[in-house]
Structure 1
């Protein structure tokens, strides 16, 4: 049995389980819509056909009229306007959106994005004072500012008007400024989950007095890259934005797509995994200005040079992330259990602050724990970094309860940034671990996979995948449907340069389906072809040389039945043997002299002959069979009592009784006849005679002589063997030696020389028999 690593929440059901709702779509699509809470034909139509007409009026945003009035006044009076942005993809695209709108209005405007390393996140006093010195009368923030209380006060003091547009979580109060345009501060606005670029776009729409469709190729970048829920307005902006970016003539977009190898249709995955990370890489390693200038570029030649530089920065970013992640994982493993049992906090001098959010995400996926990763600044005696969380732990809520630990803090339920004094790190670790221990259960730490559909191999087709694609674009609150596939494995192998990925072939009748599972190559020793596998993942189309094939990209697997892992006769146990969980495993040794040097010293040993099952305490889920029993009844007794989920067959044969075969009665008669004629003969002479004349092996001769000696048919005197003139009348089967060989042959035949399928079937019958075979009481059993 192979347990799933994640918690599976099965929401799947067959389409026939639903009363048709009259959506005018296939039963499958209708089922998926209903699972997403869409229960009317009108709502289904809006979801499947996102339309710009479904966007809400920007006029419903609180303070937007005041913001627009002040901006128009600044334009009319030739006042300088500064757009104050953020250094991530959402902040960069927000900055460009508002700049484009202001320039169209004829504003005297420029932008400012703080340096992540020297200034940190959000507005800061020094930047505001510098803006005043440079003649700016109005600052408009995009994707930032909702926590800038001090900076808002500074703006008042130095005579700069401040307009804040943001979408991040609102703290106890909002800054005191001319206007705050924020969906969550707008009771009359129907949708509160816009990205920062979505809020900037709303302001641009209101300023321009018409719907600025030409900005949608920018809006889609921040909307998808910032991982806001892709429902309601965000779904419309994403869907229309993907069309816009696919055909965009903006030089910066064209150069960026060429750098990513994108041509034609652009998907949400292209934004999330190619375009977004490249824009983010700039602000993670240096000033984000390069990313802004790329999107503002007037010519393709200029943009192409910048895109090439950004590509280089992204490669550098990937290398830095890999190095820090490796160091952070090692630190977690070295920490005492109580320090990271619920929440991980790691800190080190020299780490690049710009990538710590990515590293925190990797730690969450690796250890299934909320993670905070901090860069230490010994000169300032501070630690600064990022945090990511699991679904069950609201990071923003819990950190706000210990707000006094932080110099600066902000973020969402699942992601945050922070700065704190070095002396507060251990206190924060202790308090967050305590809060998590009090509020979370063991199950909460498992990642959850919500299954939308259960399929067999025969169900999966290119048409089915295209049907599912009607629900795109996928993202937060509209994830790509996960399917659970149940099928026997025809083949499984390791792939990739480091052999850390799995490639499956599933089969049902004459139909085959490929599956790929990334980063879980450690499961390979526990996967046996012919076992039925349950796999959860996403269906996709694999296109190669113009040919399209369906495949499943697997996120988690499970095997519900007991398993047999076949290592019979292996000479490489010392090197390649793997055990899933030592504390749940016991080795059964039927012969006390069997060498177990290839096993971990922590494995429990059950010596059948001397101890029986007397020390088989605890929860044994796996049994290692280290040698062959003398009788099949012995192994039956062990397995019926232990009922393991996993059996490792790790034995070899020593005597090869099965290959030698069992003498027939004619051979016994021949042996006896020779002795009867000779009366007495040297044993070595008899052995040589039978070898040369009959082709008998020395083992065959010895076995027959041992049987006759045990039954007192012959006598052995030193090297002479002779007939007993007065033997008792006894059957050959009365001999223990005779029975022992018969049993050894049967044991080897069934347990060693059988094929995998035959051995598993025999063990299956043993495990399901339900009653212990009666035998003599042996060794305390």
Structure 2
């Protein structure tokens, strides 16, 4: 048995409705199931979803404040007033700023931009920056991706005599800034039909309104900001991403081309390339230094400048990775200690940690331990700690932190992430209160990672044509992820570890003559947890593997499970300690019937985890993995171990034995008759001399002769004084089978036959027979169980 790493939540689908939807669209039935799982139920809605090229953008003037903004900007252009675009320092802010500056320049505006320094100024508009803009002659300020919460700053702009237009997509506060106008689809009363635009999406709608039509050349910037900001990739965001990616693949701005080059991204470019290649490099500027170079890159039309700026951003991104790796290593050490002490909410901190990447570090900790986490950077001079929090599925971290806001002078966020400041001296109090909250609100189920599966598929569903059909649902992103499929109980072959560090898993899923390859990145540890004979279930994404001109479908495995019990055959394994040391202590029961086995197998380092048969109690029998290091003295001992409340999920068979009873000579009745007659005739006689003489004369092994003599001694037929053997006068007649030594020899030979020299299949069949018939085992075993308990 192999437990999955995550909870598999498979969506329930109305198969009849899915089939009808697929038929109406002339697509495969699985596509119908996928559309239903994404909440797309009507044919017209599904056609619109699939056929992006036929979709139109919403009228930008449906957005409250758009008419006033366009009129004011047009007046400013006509009168050659100086306009300042005030942006943000993340990828969305960089894209928004670049997009609006480009369209205003195209319209002939006198425009410049300003982005605050993350470290010196913090987030959002600030009064000194506005005052400086006024001194430079600015008459109109337009914010992008920021400003909706800057009430005092809007007031200051008005006092300075500047008109102030806000374009933003963040949640409005109860009190809105007193601005010339506010463009935000989330603003109370705004009738715009789609509320989840990114900051760049709102800026694009303003550009659309100013130009009178959707500006195609700006779509590449709009797509980059939309995908990078992790907004839901549905509705108009999906249209922006689709058309923007199409524009990028046709050829876009020089700065984007330069970024694709330094990122090593080849066409066709998809949403993953943006999310993991372009976005991080644009973000790196604002995280590590200042966002200006990223904006200049998006605005330049000079090849040499673009290449240099792209190279600079790439270096900043490398530096960012290095800083994150170093901080993450330290953070994980703290997190592991807290995790091992049962903490459910991890509060991590370090002096002078880089504030620009504490959020990434928090995400890394969550990935490793799957616990809500906040990472603080402490300024030792001021005693203040700036923190960034990340949550897990189903746990509202904003609500949790709201309960300790008396310790957080500055705090904001949403259910999955938050930012805050606190006094460094209060962090231990903060941790205590958050963990007390989690003791009530955070269940074991929530602390198990969740994998949402769209639907089940069979191996014969997985074809190149089907995977290409899946691509009609692209682009994928937040709220519209790449489809995940489950295949259930399929035979595998060719299981092996691959990669430089042997940390990836490769296998094939087989059904009669059909074979589909699967690869699990960073799942190499599963190799030792899956036996070749079992059927495996897997969750993953489907892709096309192209190599040397050949194309074939494959499964990118994310998680695996085995529902049946497994037998791991370690009978010929040389590195036993290496195999066993990785087993979880709390799940494993390691048994050595002979205490010398630990020494013979060089398992001294594991001796505290190994138990003799007599040390085992009822609680130990509840463990899921049974490790049999050597042979029992009789089958009843093994049957006792297997007669637990639940049959083991895994059995590890080592069955070390120092004597090979099965291949040694077992004397017949005639052998015993001849030897007894010899002793009777020669008595008294030396045992050692007798062994030598008989071994030479009869060709018997000395061990066989010793065994026969021991049987005679056990039955009372002979006596032994040191090395001298004499016959007992008129002994009581007894059959050989009454000898305990004779019985043990027979039993050991049978045990060796079953457990040491049988094939894997025969050995598993024996355990399976016991598993199925264990409840009807002979009464003797039941008695032994009573004695054990």
Q: Helix, strand or coil for the counterpart of 1:193? A: coil
Q: How does 1:347-426 map to 2 (within 5 A)?
A: 347-400=349-402, 402-426=404-428
1:121 equivalent in structure 2: 123
CA distance in 2, matches of 1:723, 1:618: 48
The more displaced of 522-531 and 76-85 is 522-531
- Residue of structure 2 in register with 1:768 after alignment: 772
User: Cα gap change, 1:380/1:82 in structure 2, threshold over 3 Å: closer, same or farther?
Assistant: farther
Report the TM-score, using the length of structure 2 for normalisation. 0.92
Q: Secondary structure at the match of 2:787?
A: coil
Contact in 1 for aligned 2:55/2:239 (Cα 8 Å): no
Is this contact kept in 2: 1:640–1:771, CA < 8 A? no
Q: How many residues align?
A: 777
Deviates more, 1:566-575 or 1:634-643: 566-575
Q: Secondary structure at the match of 1:262?
A: coil
- Greater CA deviation, 494-503 or 65-74? 494-503
CA distance in 1, matches of 2:694, 2:82: 113
- Decide which moves more: 503-512 or 3-12: 503-512
**How far apart, in 1, do the equivalents of 2:43 and 2:359 lie?**
41
| Map of 1:226 onto structure 2 | 229
Give how far 1:476 is off.
1.3
Maintained 8 Å contact 1:84/1:111? yes
> CA contact under 8 A between 1:254 and 1:300: conserved in structure 2?
no
Match of 2:139 in 1: 137
Checking the alignment, whether the CA contact within 8 Å between 1:451 and 1:481 is kept in structure 2 is: yes
1:201-240 superposed matches below 5 A: 201-240=204-243
Pairing partner for 2:193 from 190, 193, 196: 190
- Match for residue 78 of structure 1 among 70, 77, 80: 80
Greater shift, 470-479 or 526-535, is seen at 526-535
Provide the residue aligned with 1:345 in structure 2: 347
- The alpha-carbon distance between structure 1 residues 426 and 665, as it changes in their structure 2 partners (threshold 3 A), is same
Matched, 1:27 2:5: no
Name the counterpart of 1:442.
444
- Deviation, 1:110, is 0.9
Which residue of 1 is the match for residue 164 of structure 2? Answer: 162
C-alpha distance after superposition, 1:398-442 (max 9, x if no partner) = 445554544444443322333334345344434443444433322
Tell me the equivalent position of 1:45. 47
Separation in structure 2 between the aligned mates of residue 329 and residue 75 of structure 1, nearest angstrom: 53
For the Cα contact (< 8 Å) 1:691–1:697, is it kept in 2?
A: yes
Q: Counterpart of 1:119 in 2: which secondary structure?
A: coil
> SS of the counterpart of 1:660?
coil
**Which residue number corresponds to residue 759 of structure 2?**
755
In the alignment, does 2:117 pair up with 1:112?
no
Structure 1 residue 52, shift from structure 2 partner:
6.2
Please tell me whether residue 276 in structure 1 is matched to residue 279 in structure 2.
yes
Q: Please say if 1:685 is aligned against 2:692.
A: no
Q: Per-residue CA shift, 1:441-486, capped at 9, x if unaligned?
A: 2212222111122234444332232232221111111111111123
Give the Cα–Cα distance (whole angstroms) in 2 for the partners of residues 726 and 601 of structure 1.
Answer: 50
Matched position secondary structure for 1:582 = coil
* C-alpha distance 335-713 of structure 1, shift in aligned 2 (>3 A): closer
| Residues 137, 159 of structure 1: 8 Å contact kept | yes
Q: Deviations over 1:232-286 (max 9, x none)?
A: 1111111111111101242112111222233331111111111111211222211
Contact 2:166–2:182, Cα closer than 8 Å, also in 1: yes
Q: Distance in 2 between matches of 1:191 and 1:471?
A: 20
Moved more, 665-674 or 737-746: 665-674
Contact 1:165 1:196 in 2 (8 A): yes
Task: Say whether 1:658 aligns with 2:665.
Answer: no
Q: Give the match for residue 700 of structure 1.
A: 704
**Structure-2 residue corresponding to 1:65:** 67
- Contact 2:166–2:183 under 8 Å retained in 1: yes
Instruction: Give 3-state SS (helix, strand or coil) of 1:654's partner.
Output: coil
Report Cα offsets for 1:547-606 as digits up to 9, x if no partner: 22322222222222223333336554444423543234333343466548546576484x
Structure 1 position 761, deviation (Å)? 2.2
Question: Mean Cα displacement is larger for which, 681-690 or 125-134?
Answer: 681-690
Q: Residues 135, 52 of structure 1: CA spacing in aligned structure 2 closer, same or farther, 3 A cutoff? A: farther
* 1:335 partnered with 2:342: no
- In the TM superposition, residue 171 of structure 1 has moved relative to its aligned partner by 2.8
Calculate the aligned-residue CA RMSD, in Å.
2.7
SS in 2 for 1:346: strand
Say if 1:591 and 1:402 are closer, same or farther in 2 by CA, change over 3 A.
closer
Candidates 512, 516, 525, aligned match of 1:509:
512
Whole-Å separation in 2 of the counterparts to 1:391 and 1:614: 39
Distance 1:14 1:690 in 2: 83
Query: What aligned pairs does 1:587-736 form with structure 2 within 5 A after superposition?
Result: 587-591=590-594, 595=598, 598=604, 600=606, 603=609, 605=611, 607-608=612-613, 610=614, 614=617, 616=619, 619-642=622-645, 643-672=647-676, 674-675=678-679, 678=682, 681-721=685-725, 726-736=730-740
Structure 1 position 293, deviation (Å): 1.3
Contact 1:640-1:772 at 8 Å conserved across structures:
no
Find out whether 1:299 has 2:302 as its counterpart: yes
Counterpart CA distance in 1 for 2:115 and 2:156 is 18
Aligned counterparts of 1:332 and 1:280: Cα–Cα separation in 2: 26
- Kindly state the Cα deviation for residue 144 of structure 1 after the two structures are TM-superposed: 1.4
Provide the rounded CA distance (Å) in 2 between the counterparts of 1:479 and 1:368: 20
> Matches of 1:353 and 1:618 in 2, distance apart?
50
Aligned-partner Cα distance in 2 for 1:180–1:35: 36
Taking a change above 3 Å as real, the CA distance of residues 714 and 440 of structure 1, as seen in their structure-2 partners, is closer
- Unaligned 5+ segments in structure 2 are none
